[in-house]
Amino acid sequence: MAKTTLMAELEQLVSEARNPNTLQIDLMSSGEIVAAMNAEDAKVAEAVRQVLPQVAATVDCIVEAFKAGGRLIYMGAGTSGRLGVLDASECPPTFGVPEGMVVGLIAGGDRALRHPIEGAEDSREEGRNDLQRVNVSARDVVVGIAVSGRTPYVIGGLDYAKSVGAVTAGLSCNPDSAIANMADIAISPLVGPEALTGSTRLKSGTAQKLVLNMLTTASMVRIGKSYENLMVDLSVSNEKLAARATRILIEVADCTAEEADAFLVASKNNVKLAILMALTGLNAADGEVALREADGFLRRAAAQHQPRAAG
């Protein structure tokens, strides 16, 4: 793309505009700079609130994909790609899901997580190739993430995803963007110009992170990964998570730490199963059957097996 054409495109983007509230940022004290940034950040939650219907619609599609054996696939470049990879990588320990259930793709590959890969985001073909490498199918949901809404890597990926029948969503911070217009669902929180012009890792990145948090967390809750507001499918893979699992047992079943640990041992550190055993008196084998019959929903399984009253 000619430099003059690209410059003209960038001039039209809200995310590239100059913020009138921070024109004097280079003359500000440290306290004034962080206060100005904080004032800008305060606008982000409201911008995200405006797009909650679109976020919820995407969650519904992700839930249906998971039920059908499909995946959630994020793809982006730079900060947007890193945020997608971060959200995907946190799902297995948080929700106990297989690593391939939520996939994060970034232009330039894993090296781009720490190092800029020049020109990686400029190739539509690479977006298509990356989705082909993970065998995207009609069962999947593909979320393209690009603040500008015009990143070629994301556009190429979304175009290919649509061609194979996958549901697509475009997460951008500019109105009427290219990815918003091509995706099945457009999620476009409009946070306005950044405190530092064009530094979209600021408000735009925060808005993207909030939306990604919602997409995975809400989808996981909808498929039974929580009990009340507790994480009950977490992977007990380190000391902190082991302590959290014990605390959850104590909280839900009103038992002692020793009793909680005994249930965890009996369930082989399956927190959801341990809770069901503590609440109902079922043994591990019967508890596993009960959870399968309840489609993995702990509250439903407990209700069907006469739970003991908890304090």
231 in the same domain as 105: no
231 in the same domain as 129: no
90 is catalytic: yes
83 in the same domain as 203: yes
Residue 210 maps to a domain: yes
- Quick one: pLDDT at residue 307? 53
175 in the same domain as 281: no
Pick the closest to residue 166 from 63, 69, 65 (CA basis): 65
Write down which residue in 171, 198, 222 finishes a domain.
222
201's tokens:
């890792």
147 in the same domain as 240: no
**Domain region containing 275:** 226-304
Write down which residue in 222, 243, 261 finishes a domain.
222
How far the first Cα of the chain sits from its last, in Å, is: 66
CATH number at residue 261: 1.10.8.1080
Per-residue confidence in pLDDT tens, the chain, 311 aa: 555 554 445 556 888 899 999 999 999 999 999 999 999 999 999 999 999 999 999 999 999 999 999 999 999 999 999 999 999 999 999 999 999 999 999 999 988 898 877 678 889 999 999 999 999 999 999 999 999 999 999 999 999 999 999 999 999 999 899 999 999 999 999 999 999 999 999 999 999 999 999 999 999 999 999 999 999 998 888 899 899 999 999 999 999 999 999 999 999 999 999 999 999 999 999 999 999 999 999 999 999 987 554 44
Query: pTM of the full predicted structure?
Result: 0.90
95 in the same domain as 13: yes
280 in the same domain as 182: no
- Which one from 121, 126, 194, 288 is the annotated catalytic residue? 121
Residue 2 maps to a domain: no
- Which one from 9, 64, 90, 251 is the annotated catalytic residue? 90
Residue 310 maps to a domain: no
Residue 22 maps to a domain: yes
Beta strands in 146-274, from DSSP E residues, in sequence order: 167-171, 185-187, 226-227, 230-231
If one counts the domains in the chain, the total is: 2
Pick the closest to residue 73 from 257, 235, 253, 215 (CA basis): 215
Q: Which residues contact 283 (CB under 8 A, 6 or more apart)?
A: 266, 277
Residue 38 maps to a domain: yes
Write down which residue in 207, 222, 237 finishes a domain.
222
Residue 311 maps to a domain: no
Residue 309 maps to a domain: no
282 in the same domain as 176: no
236 in the same domain as 188: no
102 in the same domain as 87: yes
214 in the same domain as 235: no
285 in the same domain as 145: no
Question: How far is 199 from 193, CA to CA, in rounded Å?
Answer: 9
Give exposure, 80-98, as e/b (b: 16+ Cβ within 10 Å). Answer: bbbbbbebbeebbebbbbe
Question: How far is 241 from 92, CA to CA, in rounded Å?
Answer: 13
Residue 58 maps to a domain: yes
CB atoms within 10 A of CB 30: 7
